[in-house]
Amino acid sequence: MFIHKTAEIEENVEIGKNTKIWHYVHIREDVKIGKNCNIGKGVYIDRDVKIGDNCKIQNYACIYKGVKIEEDVFIGPHVVFTNDLYPRSFIWEDTKIKNTIIRKGASIGANSTIICGIIIGRYSMIGAGSVVTKDVPDHGLMYGNPAILKGYICECGARLIKKGNNYFCPKCKKEVIL
């Protein structure tokens, strides 16, 4: 495990083996981060966030309370997760938090905003600069503002091609049933 001297780690934080935490990261209390993760410069991780093994969270991402990130997830630089659908500075209570789940193997491109209360499916991909306002299906490729479904992506990252009732990957030759 590596924690840069400028990182601020609060109490009761669990950090897995071989995880790297870089410059000016702030991790709040009761966070759990799995093994083999890379947390980039300036990342903010709020209270009670759970992050699985083998995740890469790029510089300046903001992950707020209510977010659960499963294993093998990529979060691009400057990605922001919200947790309150109707924020007011003068009204705050934890009951307003809407949970968001990022499933195994998903990738979220740089500068994307993820509106709370949704599920981003397994091995899905969110294009850079997207505003995701609704659930993303497994293997879904979504981008835009608001993000809309544009196709499907293989675990290897290649765009899937429809063949009959299923999908086929031209790169790794897998057949994917959606």
CATH number at 97 reads 2.160.10.10
Q: Which of 132, 133, 168 is nearest to 153 (CA)?
A: 168
Instruction: Please write down the HEC assignment for all residues of the chain.
Output: CEECCCCEECCCCEECCCCEECCCCEECCCCEECCCCEECCCCEECCCCEECCCCEECCCCEECCCEEECCCCEECCCCEECCCCCCECCECCHHHCCCEEECCCCEECCCCEECCCCEECCCCEECCCCEECCCECCCEEEEECCEEEEEEECCCCCECEEECCEEECCCCCCEECC
CA–CA dist 124, 37 (Å, integer): 19
Question: What is the pLDDT, as a whole number, of residue 135?
Answer: 98
CA distances for 70 relative to 21, 100, 119, 121, 141, angstroms: 18, 11, 11, 10, 18
pLDDT tens, N- to C-terminus, the chain (178 residues): 899 999 999 999 999 999 999 999 999 999 999 999 999 999 999 999 999 999 999 999 999 999 999 999 999 999 999 999 999 989 888 899 999 999 999 999 999 999 999 999 999 999 999 999 999 999 999 999 999 999 999 999 999 999 888 999 999 999 998 8
Q: In which domain, by residue range, is 79 found?
A: 2-176
Q: Which residues contact 87 (CB under 8 A, 6 or more apart)?
A: none
Q: The pTM is what? A: 0.96
Question: What is the pLDDT, as a whole number, of residue 177?
Answer: 86
Total domains present in the chain: 1
Question: What is the pLDDT, as a whole number, of residue 34?
Answer: 98
Question: What is the pLDDT, as a whole number, of residue 165?
Answer: 86
Question: What is the pLDDT, as a whole number, of residue 92?
Answer: 85
